[in-house]
Structure 1
Amino acid sequence: MREDNDAARSAHVGREGEHDIDRIESPGFVEAVVGAIEAGERDILRSLIADLHESDLGRLIEALPPPDRPRMIELLGADFDFTALTELDETTRVRILEELSTQTVVEGMRDLDSDDAVYILEDLGDAEKQEILAGLSVPERAALQRSLDYPEESAGRRMQTEFIALPPFWTVGQALDYIGETEGLPEVFFEVFIVDPTFRLSGSVPLDRLLRTKRGTKLGEVVTPDRHVVNVLDDQEDVARIFERYNLISAPVVDAAGRIVGVLTVDDIVDVIQEEADEDLKALGGVAGDEELSDSFWYIAKSRFAWLLLNLIAANLASFVIALFENELQRMVALAVLMPIVASQGGNAGTQTMTVAVRALATRELKPSNARRIVARELLVGLFNGVVFAVIMAAVVFARFGVMDLGFVIGLAMIINLVAAALGGILIPLTLDRLKVDPAVSSGPFVTTITDVVGFFAFLGIASLWF
């Protein structure tokens, strides 16, 4: 046992200047944690992870063997920071919560900010969710249930319900004394909100102004009307865009009557931006936005099947076009050799345009007011690149096959397909967005189909007319 303790202490100390992320990813540290868990050494385990940030603690949990994850939480008891669970992917977090006792989860939830508690609860089944809520006090349960009743990905789901609201007739001195002496206030906050007797928001007083104002001054004299108030039903992506545009640190959240019900802070918005970007990136590749590395084989296979099937249909459509020109392909083998080049170049050009268009739609940079100009620009880009690559391919084909007419045919087909790719890459996302369909999810197969069909038809059609 002495040797185990020495190893644990050595793993805890680490190398001089080593960051926590380097330490938790080192095999020696993870082995020491696993050893402490399996031996039931609570004190050793507590000393190993005592100084870890919640984010690094989440990374450590992911590095542990699955059976040891709930064991570690149960062993640490009140010393485990449940905020670390918000750093895990949904699948891993749900599996851990399902293996923990209800009492352990209830006790861990008591110390969480409301937004973190909601984030952990929302992915559980209704039965598990209600069982955990039943173990909380009535005020805690009511606050969490109210947040859970708001739509997913809304400001109400993301907001923190702990905030400081004061009346305008209080003085700065009263406010400072209240903040300094009252227990149960938020641990981190950036402003105090000024409300009327019905809790309607009048504005806010930033902490820096509060600290620099004389104690006898009334809060109503230094209040600033909030210009960026968030409605509780606003989409989280729209809220994130407001934070980004106006460099906000926090923003009040109000209900339909204008009463303040919560606050959103920049740390929550950073998570939203990361999640939305991750979903868009996966969607462009035909992958479900909620797919995680920890998901099961069957879930991943099912989620990818639909898009692969759609791509298969598109490929069969392209092969049908090729079959229309079977005689030409038999007469000139060079056509079969060169045909994929036209389609591939068009596919790459279409993907470039589509990626830019989908991103611009997501950030609201591409709007009806500037859509015509952007479409015209992409058309010119496609035409320019088509002409340049047509000249290059004509020279390559002449050098390779010694047939000038064949170079002219592939060059003309290249121009047509790159123009079609540019138009498809911008018009398809715009059309899907107008139809209220997520362009990130649906654009890829359509753009690929257009570039393949147009590329094959243009090249083989021109060749059949020319030769």
Structure 2
Amino acid sequence: MSETDAAAAPSRSDAPDLEQDAPIETNLDEDDHLKPEFVAAVLEAVDEGDFETARKLVEPLHPADIADLLELTPGERRAEMTEALGDLVSAEVLSELNDYVRDDVVEALPNEQIAELASELDTDDAVAIIEDLDKEDQQEVLEAMEPEDRAAIESALSYPEETAGRLMQRDLVAVPELWSVGKTIDYLRDTVDLTSDFWEIFVVDAAYKPIGTCQLSWVLRCPRDIAMSDVMKRDQTLIPVDMDQEEVALRFQKYALISAAVVDPGGRLVGMITVDDIVHIIQEEAGEDILRLSGAGDGDINQPILLTVRTRLMWLLINLPTAMLAATVVNLFDAEIAKYAVLAVLMGIVSGMGGNAGTQTLAVVVRAIATNQLTSSNTRRVVFRELRIAATNGVSLGILIGIGAFFIWHNPALAMVFGAAILINNIVAGLAGVFVPVTLDRFNIDPAISSAVFVTMCTDCMGFMSFLGLATLAGLGS
């Protein structure tokens, strides 16, 4: 190295302290989760009343990581943690929080601060915070907000939950069709309070009805004197303001949308929905269906224990009559079971295998219904498809289990009955796994909530009935 290079090179003491410059990395593990020792250090500082140290530890974190910290904080200590972090609990942090944790955090904040934070959020995120407040607190927060922000949130709250009206953002860019590209660009540059997050411009007519959309790239690449009506794309997907959010997500998925206009019953533009909101909805709805199939409620580890107990207990109580019905079927063959005890050992296998097969089919069909893959046009084809699958699996399992039973008990009749019952129950499971959710959906009942109970009832009852019935006919209990 030359003397010049040596002089230009920083000494070790002049080099930046990497640990100080990148504290976030040192506080996260290889999976980008907050390290347990870091969380413990922050909690310890808060417990000791050393809020300054807690803030210094947390300050370098990304808002998403601060949200994780609040979620990792025990529920009874979140209020104190919120107080310790102060203004580090920003609007962006609130938008990243789990719903139940956010309720705890918001409850610890004064209404004036809630109003300030809500004003910094998109309308849909602000509504998610304010809608769960008590009526008195909700009114106080709204009164503390700017009139324009308050009007937007009150308008959103007037729509039913989980609809496009609750999900949409009011901040958008819309221009008249008669404007030129040049006038539109000037408007975008000169308007101070224009939203900064948008991908396309909505073109509207005199009645403020959307007639087309124009991507920003098109505007930037066109001559200034071209009319917006000549640049825009007239074919667009409009979202009714009262459309269910799950249907909105399906439209975004089907048409590969980045954003879409939301219209009121009169067809006027009232807001827009963007793909970042839809990603959250798709994840939420998919998880919701899986949890409903198991009767686990929201399945959120931050959900209050009493609410979780009530949800799961209700599901278990609903399952109780179906279990009693299956027990009644077994009781019809108590004499045969008493004479040939091995029947009691094997009948649980028959019902259990049928239950597993039914659950597989049910999960596929419920997902197909939720994603609009299964409609009235292809129901018959799906039924025959699942019937073939169930029959093939039933024959394969029946032969395998029958052979196994023969080698264990050396009873050909028992082996044949066992294998035949497995086949019959698999076919029943396949049919029930299709017909139950499809029928519930036809009656506008969410198949994710109710299907599992009926499918389990079918497979249990038919499993016991087929196995014990065939065993009786074969004279195994005599």
Q: What is the TM-score with the length of structure 2 in the denominator?
A: 0.89
**Equivalent position of 2:266 in the other structure:** 257
**Equivalent position of 1:183 in the other structure:** 192
Matched, 1:150 2:164: no
* Counterparts in 2 of 1:10 and 1:104: CA distance versus 1, 3 Å: farther
Deviation at 1:431, TM superposition (A): 0.8
Matched, 1:416 2:424: yes
Report if the CA contact (8 A) 2:295-2:311 is conserved.
Answer: no
**Equivalent position of 1:329 in the other structure:** 337
Matched, 1:300 2:311: no
- Determine the C-alpha separation between the residues in 1 that align with 2:115 and 2:253: 35
- Determine the C-alpha separation between the residues in 1 that align with 2:458 and 2:79: 50
* Counterparts in 2 of 1:362 and 1:70: CA distance versus 1, 3 Å: same
Specify which of 450, 456, 474 is matched with residue 448 of structure 1. 456
- Determine the C-alpha separation between the residues in 2 that align with 1:123 and 1:71: 21
**Equivalent position of 1:56 in the other structure:** 65
Report if the CA contact (8 A) 1:390-1:414 is conserved.
Answer: yes
Report if the CA contact (8 A) 2:71-2:98 is conserved.
Answer: no
Alignment identity in percent?
41
Deviation at 1:442, TM superposition (A): 0.4
- Determine the C-alpha separation between the residues in 2 that align with 1:232 and 1:264: 10
**Equivalent position of 2:386 in the other structure:** 378
**Equivalent position of 1:342 in the other structure:** 350
Secondary structure, aligned partner of 2:193: coil
Report if the CA contact (8 A) 2:130-2:138 is conserved.
Answer: yes
**Equivalent position of 2:15 in the other structure:** none
**Equivalent position of 2:442 in the other structure:** 434
Deviation at 1:64, TM superposition (A): 3.1
Q: Deviations over 1:141-176 (max 9, x none)?
A: 111100111111110100000011112232222222
Secondary structure, aligned partner of 1:62: helix
- Determine the C-alpha separation between the residues in 2 that align with 1:134 and 1:20: 43
Matches within 5 A, 1:140-289: 140-288=149-297
Matches within 5 A, 1:28-47: 28-34=37-43, 38-41=49-52, 45=55
Q: Deviations over 1:323-378 (max 9, x none)?
A: 11111111112211211111111111111111111111111111111111111121
Give the aligned residue type for 1:125. D
- Determine the C-alpha separation between the residues in 2 that align with 1:146 and 1:21: 44
- Determine the C-alpha separation between the residues in 1 that align with 2:57 and 2:415: 73
Matched, 1:84 2:81: no
**Equivalent position of 2:141 in the other structure:** 132
- Determine the C-alpha separation between the residues in 1 that align with 2:345 and 2:85: 65
Secondary structure, aligned partner of 1:365: coil
Deviation at 1:79, TM superposition (A): 5.2
- Determine the C-alpha separation between the residues in 1 that align with 2:267 and 2:56: 46
Matches within 5 A, 1:42-121: 45=55, 48-50=58-60, 52=62, 54-66=63-75, 69-71=78-80, 73-74=82-83, 80-121=89-130
Report if the CA contact (8 A) 1:106-1:136 is conserved.
Answer: yes
Matched, 1:403 2:427: no
Residue-pair matches, total: 456
Q: Deviations over 1:214-259 (max 9, x none)?
A: 1222222212214211111111111111111111110111111221
Give the aligned residue type for 2:146. S
Which shifted more, 33-42 or 407-416? Answer: 33-42
Report if the CA contact (8 A) 1:77-1:104 is conserved.
Answer: no
Q: What is the TM-score with the length of structure 1 in the denominator?
A: 0.91
Secondary structure, aligned partner of 2:211: strand
Deviation at 1:100, TM superposition (A): 1.1
